[in-house]
Amino acid sequence: MQDFDLVIRGGTVVTAADSACADVGVRDGKIVAIGLELDPGRREIDATGLRVMPGGIDSHVHLAQPAFGGPAMADGFESGTRSAIAGGNTTVIPFALQSRGMSLRQAVTDYHAEAEGRAYCDYGFHLILTDPTPAVLGQELPALVAGGYTSLKVFMTYDDMVLNDRELLEVFDAAGEQGALVMVHCEGYDAIRFMTEKLEKAGKLAPYYHAVSRPQSVEREAAHRAISHAELTGVPIMIVHVSGREAMEQIRWAQNRGLKIMGETCTQYVSLTADDLKGLNMDDTGSKYVCSPPPRDRESWDAIWNGIQTGVFQTFSSDHCPFYFEGEMGKKNPKARTGFRWVPNGIPGVAVRMPILWSEGVVKGRITENQFVALTSTNHARIYGLTTKGSIAPGYDADIVLWDPDRRVTISQSLMHHGSDYTPWEGYEVTGWPQATILRGEVVMQDGEILGSKQGGRFLPRALSPMAARGASAPLG
């Protein structure tokens, strides 16, 4: 007789590879058996009618991060990870940001202090490099990569984060030496500044003009430049938060040329449009939707779906970047009301990522449930070196979401469990919702109730990404 702490019985187990009716046996936080009519466990969960899927891994969230030109974020680790488990996630990867002049190691140490004892789910850290000095690239980065911080993000825009082309090349090259994966925010700094100043001179200050100031051409040009730098240095990169056809086609073009370029898209690029940023005046609700890159239009949704279906994109993330709407710290704080340039860039979405992708993707027949698992969990684990996460198989962590595929839900703030005082998807209707979230064998969310503890999440040092290995065909490879 096998000894199980937990048996999840009678559900349909869905992985990135296939779907099958089976029971799942869990012991010591690990999946130890998958089969028919498993022996009884000390705890049993009846999953009849539910999908039993790997817990969501959201590899792009921002928590407690002092950036994006705005006031403090609405989520630290506590509320951000609480919202994550409410939405069916069991792991998040937020960003330890190096401010200019600061040591990268210090940024990581400070970020651990933010996270410690405050996480409802497991977490790793990406690094954000804003000051790639020789000491940072030659000493701090190698030590941090060896310690399990195996990915880093760089920005091609924002006054306090932008890297110039020479710096991008130096970072790509140094990351390539270490086998770390580079994530790139592709929007061109000078083009955005030019457009912003022009719009401001014309008195076009409302939140909607945020979208006008950074059209798809700005994203496309930067994506092409990043791809060219990746080719020159022979380093794979992940182009994050791709918003529409233009940047998507750049990635496809690069992939077709045999370059190791990966792509990420996000919930907002298949469910919001720039029209959502339109408000009647500076007081209105448009700023609730201000994020970068901005949401585009319905034609862009189609292009993004095409990119998802044809494998241009490997990951579907939230880019959860939460701010308040009301108050001195909010998106319509007095300074933000003087012009779109001052509205903090980002929206909260970690809790709605899986429901919206299921509803718009699986229910509407655009992707299979197996693709859903790949896009929300398995590919994030593979790409970012989470070796015990992202699948349902013996030996993996028992990180599981029990998914009700038919449950119809109207998204509302009360379901989000996040720190922001609003959700951009208020009133949005979805079919499919997480009934329970299980972290290493413990039920941490059931029927919308948070049962886990903020001491429950663990830091995850990550392995090198197999996808970050330098390509053999590269000049420096």
Task: Write the binding mask 166 to 195 for ligand DUC: x where contact by CB under 6 A, - elsewhere.
Answer: -------------------x----------
Q: Does 92 bind ligand DUC (CB under 6 A)?
A: no
Question: Whole-angstrom Cα distance, residue 176 to residue 314?
Answer: 20
CA 224 to CA 276: how far, in whole Å?
28
> Strand 151-155 and strand 126-128: pairing?
parallel
| Contact (Cβ atoms closer than 8 angstroms) between residue 172 and residue 237 | yes
382 binds ligand DUC (CB under 6 A): no
How many residues contact ligand DUC, by CB under 6 A?
10
Contacts of 153 (CB under 8 A, 6+ apart): 95, 126, 127, 128, 129, 182, 183, 184, 185, 240
SS3 432: strand
Per DSSP, the three-state class of 264 is strand
Kindly tell me which of 319 and 421 has the beta carbon lying closer to Zn ion.
319
Q: Is 292 in the site for ligand DUC (CB under 6 A)?
A: yes
Answer with the entry of ligand DUC, Zn ion, none that 68 interacts with (C-beta below 5 to 8 A by kind). Answer: ligand DUC
Q: If contact means CB under 5 to 8 A according to the sort of partner, which of Zn ion, ligand DUC, none does residue 340 touch?
A: none
The answer to whether residue 264 forms part of the interface with ligand DUC (CB under 6 A) is no
DSSP characters for 94-137?
A: -EEE--TTS-HHHHHHHHHHHHTT--SSEE--EEE-S---HHII
| Residue 321 touches ligand DUC, criterion: CB under 6 A | yes
Cα torsion 360, 364, 368, 369: sign: positive
Considering the complex, what minimum distance in angstroms separates the CB of residue 266 from Zn ion? 8
Query: Rounded CA gap, 256 and 268, in Å?
Result: 26
User: Which of residues 292 and 300 has its CB atom nearest to ligand DUC in the complex?
Assistant: 292
Please list every residue from 388 through 417 that binds ligand DUC, using CB under 6 A.
Answer: none
Nearest distance, CB of residue 127 and ligand DUC, angstroms? 14
User: 127 to 156, contacts with ligand DUC by CB under 6 A?
Assistant: none
Short-list 106, 210, 93, CA closest to 153: 93
Partner from ligand DUC, Zn ion, none binding residue 288, C-beta < 5-8 Å depending on class: none
346 binds, among ligand DUC, Zn ion, none (CB under 5 to 8 A by kind): ligand DUC
- The smaller minimum CB distance to ligand DUC, of residues 77 and 396, is found at 77
Closer to ligand DUC at the Cβ: 172 or 189? 189
185 alpha-carbon distance from chain centroid: 13
- Does residue 214 bind ligand DUC (CB under 6 A)? no
Nearest residue to Zn ion, by Cβ distance, number only: 185
In the bound state with ligand DUC, the residue whose beta carbon lies nearer, of 175 and 239, is: 239
- From the list Zn ion, ligand DUC, none, pick the one residue 254 interacts with, judged by a Cβ distance below 5 to 8 Å according to partner type: none
Q: Considering the complex, what minimum distance in angstroms separates the CB of residue 319 from ligand DUC?
A: 5
Beta pairing class for 237-242 and 261-266: parallel
CB of 185 to ligand DUC, least distance (A): 5
Contact 467, 382 (CB under 8 A): yes
CA distance 13 to 202: 57
Burial class (CB in 10 A: 0-12, 13-18, 19+), 173: middle
User: Nearer to Zn ion by C-beta: 16 or 161?
Assistant: 161
Binding to ligand DUC (CB under 6 A) within 46-65 occurs at 62
Chosen from Zn ion, ligand DUC, none, partner binding at 353 (C-beta under 5 to 8 Å by type): none
Of the pair 11, 346, the CB lying nearest ligand DUC is at 346
Q: Which is nearer to ligand DUC, 93 or 398 (CB)?
A: 93
Residue 205's SS3 state is coil
CB of 152 to ligand DUC, least distance (A): 13
Residues 344-373, interacting with ligand DUC (CB under 6 A) = 345-346
Residue 345 partner contact from ligand DUC, Zn ion, none using kind-dependent CB cut-offs of 5 to 8 Å: ligand DUC
Query: Minimum CB separation from Zn ion for residue 264, in Å?
Result: 10
C-alpha span between 429 and 456 (Å, rounded): 31
Binding site for Zn ion (CB under 5 A): 185, 319
Q: Is 440 in the site for ligand DUC (CB under 6 A)?
A: no
Q: Is 101 exposed, middle or buried (0-12, 13-18, 19+ CB in 10 A)?
A: exposed
CA dist., res. 161 & res. 173, Å (int): 19
Q: Identify which of residues 288 and 440 has a Cβ nearer to Zn ion in the complex.
A: 288
Closest contact distance (angstroms) between CB of 183 and Zn ion is: 8
Give whichever of 7 and 107 is closer to ligand DUC, judged by the CB atom: 107
319 binds ligand DUC (CB under 6 A): yes
For residue 123, give the nearest of 320, 413, 352 by alpha carbon.
Answer: 320
Q: Is 420 helix (H, G, I), strand (E, B) or coil?
A: coil
68 binds ligand DUC (CB under 6 A): yes
DSSP 8-state secondary structure symbol assigned to residue 64: S
Q: How many CB atoms lie within 10 A of CB 388?
A: 17
Does residue number 121 form part of the binding site for ligand DUC (CB under 6 A)? no
Residues lying near ligand DUC in the complex (CB under 6 A) = 62, 68, 185, 241, 291-292, 319, 321, 345-346
